[in-house]
Structure 1
Amino acid sequence: MDSVDLQVLATARRWAAEGRRFAWVTVARTWGSAPRPPGAWLVLREDGLVEGSVSGGCIEDDLVMRMRDGRLAGKRPFALVYGVTKEEAERIGLPCGGTLEVLIEPQPDAALLDELAERLSQRQLVAKSVDLSSSLVTLSAAGRGAAMRWDGERLLTVHGPQWRLLIIGAGQISRYLAQMALALDYEVTVCEPREEYGPGWDVPGTRLVSSMPDDTLLEMVPDAHCAVVALTHDPKLDDMVLLEALRSPAFYVGAVGSRLNNAKRRERFLQHFDFSEEELARLHGPVGLPIGSHTPPEIAVAILAEMVAVRNGVATASRLPHRADLPAAGELRAAGACAVS
């Protein structure tokens, strides 16, 4: 889930505390082109006020009409399907060929919303189940790898930090990267074994550990929802975690440094650690998209943007053309600047 969904939850809890009537809407399934993915949330108040979205606005208009004329009243959850026919899709305003199924909870349980918010504040992974036949809505702990399911009778959605980020080093870039990653609902662990850096770390919502980088990663048991970014500039630390990360299922592995230093790192791995070219191709170094970033927050933006690109299966920095005069993320070329190496 992302920060937009957290805002929806906060609004629903506020309306419940005010005694307002509202409905909870979840995208259960989509076919073809759809503006919002399965699992997206919307809450709709009795006076038509909306928080969140399940489409580009077309479905929302119909839901507002249904709320105002009483069709979203009652207590039992039910499903609605939009765009079954081409004519209906055009009437509603869905993209060509798009079909959208949503699940409506006309009267959400305020206590359950509070429990969900509390679990999420503790960075827990939570499964929410809505059963149409029994009208039962429950929350339970979700395991890593749990996924949303909808069979027409029961909707299971998973909420919380399903993506994890391990940052090596507690420097300036790490601080900005951690804050931005939290906004995208990553569970952030910062590994800093150097005693000079750890005491100054103060980013709320992150976990700081002082164990060695490779041990930290192995304890996390990395999976395909895990990213690893090495930012110490110290091969003795960065290489330790990269050696493990490149052979793990982690979806993203990056290391800060110049093109020259990253080329030397690849050469070391090839010669001394029996890595294949395919394994080394997974290393994003210099880390981040080549956007000419110079400052720590700019470098953090470039790193997180590349992580988003990899997650979404689009072109990454290794496949983008580099202008000869355009530095990669973390590769400073400004006059008098200390180059990252």
Structure 2
Amino acid sequence: MQPIDLAVIEQALAWTRAGKPVWLCTVLSSYGSSPREPGSWLVADAEGGHEGSLSGGCVEEDFLARLRDGLFDRRISRIRYGAPEGPADPPTRLPCGGVLDVLIERLPPDPTTGDLLAQLHGALTGNAPLIRQVSTLDGSWTTAPDAGLGPRVEQLPEQNRVSLRVGPSARLIIAGISPVSTTCAELARSLGFEVIVCDPREEYTAEFAVPGVKLVTVLPSLYITADTCHRATAVVALTHDPRIDDLALIEAVRTEAFYIGVMGSTRTSQARAARLVRSGGLSQSDVDRIHMPIGLALGSKTPAEIALAAMADIVRTRRGKTREQL
């Protein structure tokens, strides 16, 4: 399985290359409880085929019915779900009680659309992130390089446009197979991460099977050096074997990975930090990038609890929250 945003853009590309117009829908804002955050995508064709989601299932059927009825034939449209009914506010209610504001772009199957989708695909797969400005009057758009900082969606009504940030899909590289690795991979997939597990040991890889997770049978350190870590990548070492964990950490700190963590007790972590400086050639600033012990201090004991603590800390870091803000 691919991350949902990447699957959306690849489906849009396939339809465009087949000569079909596509409707690219972007969640602009959500109020109250809503399962899809601003910036989330759904793409649809005229026959009702679709990839992605707007609400986790609450409003898609209504949207696709309206699409088939020709309600979104303009170049740019907006619709709000969950609000009091009005011209742009259908009666569909979100069971969670939230409100969802959606931008709908009709993209013709031409070279301009192909270029846009190719740019979005590149940003999602690790090229430089970009910022996309879309006119809410006529649907025209521009793209430019972006630092990747700030909200995914900014609405600028005084300028009749919205600003949309697109960057790499969240990726998790797990160094080594262990009971914690398996649970962590499953949890990360459910959170929408692209997950890669690296381990060269045949006795472990022969039994490893997690749906939607890529298994690479090489040393994690070798995989990391192959330019596989972009700024939306987290690297976790979960084996207790320094031959795997330490080498992975030494390579990971040389990348743009936003989170690097390793499993172990406080005493083990202190010994590892000294070893990485002494034998691994890392500086103190390199060591300070590594979360060890990994994860939030939940008092975790079981593999599932350790995986939960690790993924909670990864999500916290990706969202820009300090531990004191929790």
Contact 2:72 2:104 in 1 (8 A): no
The reply to whether residue 154 of structure 1 matches residue 141 of structure 2 is yes
Q: Aligned residue for 1:308?
A: 315
The 5-angstrom pairing of residues 1-341 of structure 1 reads: 26-27=25-26, 36-41=37-42, 52-53=53-54, 73=71, 75-80=73-78, 102-105=103-106, 130=107, 138=114, 139-140=117-118, 141-142=121-122, 143-145=125-127, 146-147=129-130, 149-152=132-135, 153-154=140-141, 162-316=169-323
Contact 1:160 1:185 in 2 (8 A): no
The structural deviation recorded for 1:203 is 1.3
User: Relative contact order, CA 8 A, sep 6+: which one is greater?
Assistant: 2
Take 2:108 and 2:131, find their aligned partners in 1: how far apart are those partners? 14
Take 1:206 and 1:160, find their aligned partners in 2: how far apart are those partners? 21
Structure 2: where are the runs of 5+ without partners? 12-21, 45-51, 81-85, 91-98, 144-163
Take 1:149 and 1:39, find their aligned partners in 2: how far apart are those partners? 14
Q: Which amino acid aligns with 1:26?
A: C
Contact 2:130 2:167 in 1 (8 A): no
Contact 2:27 2:54 in 1 (8 A): no
Give the 3-state SS of the residue equivalent to 2:203 in structure 1.
coil
The TM-score normalised by the length of structure 2 is: 0.62
Q: Which amino acid aligns with 2:74?
A: R
Q: 1:212 to 1:30 in 2, by over 3 A?
A: same
The structural deviation recorded for 1:28 is 6.6
The TM-score normalised by the length of structure 1 is: 0.60
Q: 1:159 to 1:279 in 2, by over 3 A?
A: closer
Give the 3-state SS of the residue equivalent to 2:274 in structure 1.
helix
What is the CA deviation profile of residues 192-218 of structure 1, one whole-angstrom value per residue up to 9, with x for unaligned ones?
122321111111222222222211111
Contact 1:190 1:208 in 2 (8 A): yes
Q: 1:42 to 1:33 in 2, by over 3 A?
A: farther
Take 1:161 and 1:231, find their aligned partners in 2: how far apart are those partners? 24
Take 2:132 and 2:184, find their aligned partners in 1: how far apart are those partners? 32
Aligned length: 262
